Structure 1
Amino acid sequence: MKLMKKVLGFLLLAALVVLGSLYWLGTREDSSTGPAGAAADGAGLIERGRYLALAGNCMACHTSRGGKALAGGTPIPTPFGTVYGPNITPDTDTGIGAWTADDFWQALHNGKSRDGSLLYPAFPYTEYTRVTRSDSDALFAYLRSVAPVRQPNRPPEMDFPYDQRALLAAWRALYFKPGVQEPDPGQSVEWNRGRYLVEGLGHCAACHTPRNSLGATRSSQALSGGVIPMLNWYAPPLTNDMHAGMGRWTAQDIATLLKTGISAHSTVSGPMAEVVLGSTQHLTDDDALAIGVYIKSLPATPPASEARPAGATPAALELGGKIYSQQCAQCHQPDGKGSGLAWPALAGNPTVTAPSPVNAIRMVLDGGYAPATTSNPRPHGMPPFGQILSDNDIAMLVSYIRNSWGNQAGGVTALEVKRARAASTLN
């Protein structure tokens, strides 16, 4: 009995040590600030912060549809519940009017609110921690300059046990380490700027890196693409795989897509169209090209694997080809090479050749437009075909375009189309 008590006592002590270590690791802070930025006067600092807010796409999560700018309320669905973007206007009672620059830095860099509470990683502090202190201060100066809006924050609606914030300490111990990203002296200034925007302020990994069952990005598959949780859109790989990634693109192709929403290889749609509209079209030409330069330096690793059904049968491909000739060839051409930038090529198009066919399916179902940008104010659109084509027809059509003109992306089932049709009515 005494031995049993000693064993139980030892196990209890060990458990407390482990839990204490996890809590310390999950709540630790990093006080580094990274390289100093250039000094700026008040107006210059605010303008720089305005640009950084656009580059970081702050509006997307902090401005609700039809609501006041940056006043919060935007629902951010996750597999664990819904988080609502907070009010970041300088209202003293409901916004960040009582915050200091140190408080704001703590949120960006350490993922903690002003009162020290741990923030849910729906706020991408896992990427924002790389932002320099000087850029954080510029962002804060800009946010302090916007019109204050009195709008109480809506609390998160998380499922149990994810509504217990204390558990975030364990998640952070496993998946978060705060720290500013230092420049790589072996790379060019342009490359380092591109990496800073991609991995930090632009938080591209939030969509373009697959996640594990606990919602953390898989670092071993960085930027290898994945289905965006809850939105049912596929963020394609940013690696240089020749078939599903950026292998056939140049740095300038990538910059053009970010600035205009269109390129010789593809046209943005879904969530990325919103990113271009609200964020990347406002990048300077140098920053857009720096992102392209950095992305083109990524290895040609294959995209994150996805279980796919067997390839389409010859009969299905033949019927899909007939549907393509009737409905699609006039714009996208019989050889799939498209027509200028208005009607993008389907041959080699990463939307078509992606491991997941969901984007191609949703474009056939719902159609759509590229975003109306300053450089492309009147984009061409694609009509929806969901009303005139059955699930089986669309499955055969998408299977055909995924396996023609050198594309080798596998078949599509009517069940996948049915699921995409249902998801498109919810989003």
Structure 2
Amino acid sequence: MLSLRHLKALSTLLLVRTGCAIAVACALIADAGAQASAPKGDASVVARGEYLARAGDCVACHTLPAGKVFGGGRPMDTPFGTLYTPNISSDKETGIGKWTAAEFYSMMHTGKSRDGSLLYPAMPFGSYTKVTRADSDAIYAYLMSTTAVHQPNRPHELRFPFNKRQLLIGWRSLFFREGEYQPDPKQPADWNRGAYLVEGLGHCAMCHTAINALGGNVASKAFEGGLIPLQNWYAPSLTSNKEAGLGDWSIEDIVGLLHAGISNRGAVYGPMAEVVYNSLMYLTEDDVRAMAVYLKALPQRSGDKAEPPSAAVTEARNDLAPLGKKVYDAQCAVCHAAQGQGKVPHFPPLANNQSIEMNSAVNPIRMVLNGGYPPGTFKNPMPYGMPPFAQALSDVEVAAVVTYIRTAWGNHGAPVTVKEVNELRSAPLY
């Protein structure tokens, strides 16, 4: 099971998560005859495995757009070449149909394939190692029950030396710690369940933790947020109030965002919308609430208090603010209200919205340029969308209106530049 996230150095190979993100709706629904194709597993175990595979968002990377479920072959472009995701269907020749449950667990637990070869860290084995044997066996049973897809695996097309798997030994020694999740006896059951899902199958830290110069996630900066390379979206901090943290969110608002894609505090767009659509909306209310409990309890960083703006920042803000207000009043106020209070839950507030004030302005710039929809979920089947303004507004106007919403109504974001807007105008949507 792969997710796509880009690593910066030797190990930077392919640690980009499209699961925080790229998948298609057609991949969400298993074939109607999937259960009947391989009736070896106990029905309750298979059903549990399907649920856990949803929690792990396996379909996101292992299914081509308009392709057969779990057939693999999805290309993942990186600066070092292209990675192709493997076939994990029950096919005995091209999938994992000949694997045993023990071999599948070993892969999940150790980050090594059936033949002993090291997996590239695009596969989130650093998180999946926390999955229990019982849960791994259930996922295996589910995959064995799915329709066999006869689709040979395509070899990766990586440049030298990144095509030498043995070089991953160094990365693993620095950033991989093998071991199942061990419950904290000092914490309640829901906290432990949430920790297991967030740190394990959910592999949330892969996007919400910045990578260092060696291409690994630093444990001391876990969940503090970071730019998702190649996708040009910013995964916000889940710990810090300044960086869109959850410190002053209610449990209900966190649950709403994860389960429905919308809440009174905001809505998900971009890669996170895909995660909700493919994975989180299928989880039980209890499991999503457990995740919210755990996230809510994550320690906040020190030094989150906003610094007073410099003279240069103040000048830039004052230069752009009049045009920004004009654009906002004409284009944005009808949905987000004159004072940025929004019309919750469908039109999120912009005033006192931490995601608007983040150090990185990538997300609000992209939303103005490209627009978007929250995912259609069971709890919000007909979401309201944000129209794109790339064709209607110039780079200067976009920079002005984003600067305005980041600095008006008591918001403490910094102004954005025309250059930042121009660079993102041609960025891929996902």
Indicate conservation of the 8 Å contact 1:191/1:294, yes or no.
yes
Any idea what the Cα deviations from partners look like across 1:49-71, whole Å, max 9, x if unmatched?
A: 00000011000011111100011
Contact 2:317/2:407 (CA < 8 Å) preserved in 1? Answer: no
Matches for 1:211-230 after TM superposition, within 5 Å: 211-230=211-230
1:178 aligns with 2:182: no
2:48 corresponds to which residue? Answer: 48
Q: Distance in 2 between matches of 1:46 and 1:352?
A: 42
1:114 maps to a residue whose letter is: R
Is 1:374 matched up with 2:378?
A: yes
Give me the TM-score of the superposition, normalised by structure 2: 0.86
Give distance in 2, aligned partners of 1:74 and 1:263. 32
Greater C-alpha radius of gyration? 1
Cα offset, 1:298, TM superposition = 0.7
1:229 positional shift: 1.3
Matching of residue 424 in structure 1 with residue 428 in structure 2: yes
Q: CA RMSD in A?
A: 1.8
Distance (whole Å) between structure 2 residues aligned to residue 303 and residue 396 of structure 1: 28
Q: Which amino acid aligns with 1:107?
A: M
Query: 1:229 & 1:96 partners in 2: Cα distance?
Result: 30
Please report the TM-score for the alignment, with normalisation by the length of structure 1.
Answer: 0.87
Aligned residue identity for 1:238: L
Residue 250 of structure 2 aligns with which residue? 250
What is aligned with 2:362? 358
Q: CA deviation at 1:220?
A: 1.6
Is 1:388–2:392 an aligned residue pair? yes
Decide whether the 8 Å contact of 2:236 with 2:243 is kept in 1: no
Point out the more displaced range, 400-409 or 288-297.
400-409
Q: Which residue of 2 aligns with 1:288?
A: 288
Structure 1 residues 233 and 242 mapped into 2: Cα distance closer, same or farther (>3 Å)? closer
In percent, how many aligned pairs have the same letter?
53
Other-structure match for 2:350: 346
Inter-CA distance 243–71: structure 2 relative to 1 (3 Å threshold): closer
Tell me if structure 1 keeps the 8 A contact 2:129–2:178.
yes
Q: Is the 8 A contact 2:268 2:374 kept in 1?
A: yes
Name the SS of the counterpart of 1:234 in structure 2: strand
3-state SS of paired residue (2:181): coil
Contact 2:91–2:97 (Cα < 8 Å) also in 1:
yes
Q: How does 1:178-327 map to 2 (within 5 A)?
A: 178-242=178-242, 244-301=244-301, 311=313, 312-327=316-331
- Alignment partner, residue 123 of structure 1: 123
1:223 partner letter: F
Structure 1: stretches of 5+ with no match in the other structure: 1-40
Higher relative contact order (CA 8 A, sep 6+): 2
Structure 1 residues 349, 113: CA separation in 2 closer, same or farther (over 3 Å shift)?
same
CA contact (8 A) 1:342 1:380 kept: yes
How much does 1:78 deviate?
Answer: 3.8
| Deviation readout 1:298-336 (Å, 9 max, x if unpaired) | 11216999xx99533312112211111111111101111
CA offsets, 1:236-280, max 9 Å, x none? 111142563112211221111111110111110110000000000
**Equivalent pair of 1:265/1:348 in contact (CA under 8 Å):** no
User: Post-superposition shift, 1:424?
Assistant: 3.2
Letter in 2 for 1:61: C
Distance 2:283 2:161 in 1: 40
Q: CA deviation at 1:154?
A: 1.6
Deviation at 1:214, TM superposition (A): 3.1
Secondary structure, aligned partner of 2:115:
coil
Instruction: Return the offset for 1:164.
Output: 0.7
Contact (CA 8 Å) 1:225, 1:303: kept in 2 or not? no
Partner of 2:15: none
CA drift of 1:122 comes to 0.1
- For residues 380-403 of structure 1, the C-alpha deviation after alignment (integer angstroms, 9 at most, x for no partner) is 011111101011110111011011
Tell me the equivalent position of 1:33.
Answer: none
Partner of 2:69: 69
- For 2:290 and 2:384, the matched residues in 1 are separated by 28
Give distance in 1, aligned partners of 2:147 and 2:70: 9
Secondary structure in 2 aligned to 1:51? helix
Q: Cα–Cα, structure 1 residues 415 and 122, in superposed 2: closer, same or farther, change >3 Å?
A: same
